[in-house]
Structure formats: C-alpha cells, structure tokens
Amino acid sequence: MAIKIYKPTSPGRRNSSVIDYNKELTTSKPEKTLCKRIKKHGGRNHHGKTTVRFRGGGARRIYRIIDFKRNKDGMTARVESIEYDPNRNCFISLVQYKDGEKRYILSPAGIKVGEIIESGFLVEPKTGNCMPLESIPVGVEVHNIEMTAGQGGKLVRGAGGVARLMAKEGDWATIILPSGEMRMVRKECRATIGQLSNGDYQHVKIGKAGRKRHMGRRPHVRGKAMNPVAHPMGGGESRSNGGRHPCSPTGVLAKGGKTRNPRNNSNKRIIRRRKSNRGYQLVL
C-alpha cells in the first residue's frame, strides 16, 4: 500500500496525505445484502445527555456486517472483491461460498481476488484461512483472535495488525500481541492466518481540522481554557494550570486511576503487560 501526497495547493493539502486506494481496492460499491444503516447519536445516551464529549457531525456511514466468527467449516470460499470500510481502518474482502452465501471478512495483506480460502480444524495454514489455535503451527502470524471459543474475533483487528503464536501447552496457547503484551488464550479459540491489510494507515497525516470533522470528531477544548462554571479547572487570572489535579467536568480524577475491571477474568491470563511506550511495534 502506498501513501499519496498531493500538490501543496493550500496549507491543508501541504501537510496531509492519503492512502492510494486504487492500487489495492477492486470495487467502490458494497454488497447491499450485507449493509445496514447505523444511526448517529453525537455522544449522547437515550436521555439526550452527553456521555462522550467532542463527538458529532461527520460523513454518513453504512455499516458492513463482518463475519468475525469464520465458522462455516468444510466449505471453500472465493474472494470476490477487496473493499473500503468506513467503520474500520483495515480493508474488508467479500467472499462467496460454494452454496452461494456471501460474507465480509477482514482482508489479510497480500490476498488477491480469485483466491480460495476456508475455515476448519484440518485446513492448510495459509493466508486467509481460519482455524483453532491448536491446529496452527507455532511461530505463525495470526489476526482476528477469539478470546472465548465461538464468540468471534476480538483481538488484533486493526490495520496492519499481526500477532504471533509462541507456544502451546495443555489447553492454552500463548500469543504475543502487537502492543507487546503476551497472553494466554484457550486453544479452542480461532484465529486467521496472516497480517491485516492497509499497514501504511499509521503513516497517514490528517493535515487539517476539517478531515477530523468528517470523521465525526469535534474540537477538543482544554478544561483550563474554560470558565469556572463549565469546568472545575477553569478560570483563574491569566493562564493557569487549573489549581488542582486533572479531572473531568464532573470532577472525576483523570490521571493515575485504574481503568481495568477487577472482575475481568481474562486479566489473570496476561503473562507480560504491554510496553509502556505507546509507539512500540512488535518486530516479527
């Protein structure tokens, strides 16, 4: 995938770049039977109260129904097209099974139109095939990994994402995630072979505020730039740092608190936490 830079006809164009979709995508029209309309809420709940700030507007999106479970075993499917999905940063592939059923899947890097893929316990571990972790050889790169068997893929679903199966012992398999976290997953859980497409997405520069507005993101205003009536950190003479620890408009402390649910049983399956450096990328 290539990054396209336009002629700098304006400051916004000068500092922005886009993905050259023409080199990989094969169609611009989605499969209508796998699409549905989603309603926007602008960060508001059913009472009309804003629960997520700085959301609203943006281009209209049509949701593509993605098959994260890949549970149609014993039947091959042909890749019909590789398409853009406005709801995620990786591409999606339309596949058609022998019985005529069509499904969308997350598109692995390097997959081409016309290729045959399948899922099951005894399939070949090649790019695009889906199988339980117990059937995947150690050291193979995977994505779209389940955390509970039959639930559908939950881990490694972003553009360019790739994990590696490191070991299998008893009923558990050990994987290294793109963040550097090492965790154990039940061997019955499924994963798809290969790396996800559109790996250059992380190098795209937005360039101007308007592109963020198209994504449905409104301007983010600092609390200390507000008036005291609008935020606990607002007000003060000239520029001030709020006079207290960082907090939300309702006074909830924003720094240093634990965000993981202590009742989440999957936490005890983490062997090594992710790296403190958020820019870390797993080198395979």
pLDDT (tens digit per residue) in 146-201: 999 999 999 999 999 999 999 999 999 999 999 999 999 999 999 999 999 999 99
* Residue 1: per-residue pLDDT: 58
* Residue 280: per-residue pLDDT: 46
DSSP string, 67-90: --S---TT--EEEEEEE--TTSSS
pLDDT (mean) for 243-264: 87
* Residue 257: per-residue pLDDT: 81
Sign of the CA dihedral running 46, 52, 55, 61: negative
Sign of the CA dihedral running 97, 102, 108, 111: positive
The CATH topology of domain 20-202 is OB fold (Dihydrolipoamide Acetyltransferase, E2P) (2.40.50)
Nearest to 160 by CA among 205, 106, 85, 207: 106
The Cα–Cα gap between 33 and 12 comes to 38
Q: Over the chain, what is the mean pLDDT?
A: 92
The CA dihedral of 24, 30, 31, 35, to the nearest 10 degrees, is 130
Question: Helix, strand, or coil here: 41?
Answer: coil
pLDDT (mean) for 256-271: 83
Q: How confident is the model at residue 279 (pLDDT cuts 50, 70, 90)?
A: very low
* Residue 247: per-residue pLDDT: 93
**pTM summary value:** 0.88
- 94-118, pLDDT tens digit by residue? 999 999 999 999 999 999 999 999 9
Domain map of the chain by residue range?
20-202
Say which DSSP state 199 is in. Answer: G
**Strand runs labelled E in the chain:** 3-4, 18-19, 35-37, 62-64, 77-83, 92-97, 102-106, 116-117, 130-132, 141-143, 145-146, 153-155, 163-169, 172-176, 182-186, 190-193, 270-272
pLDDT (mean) for 42-69: 95
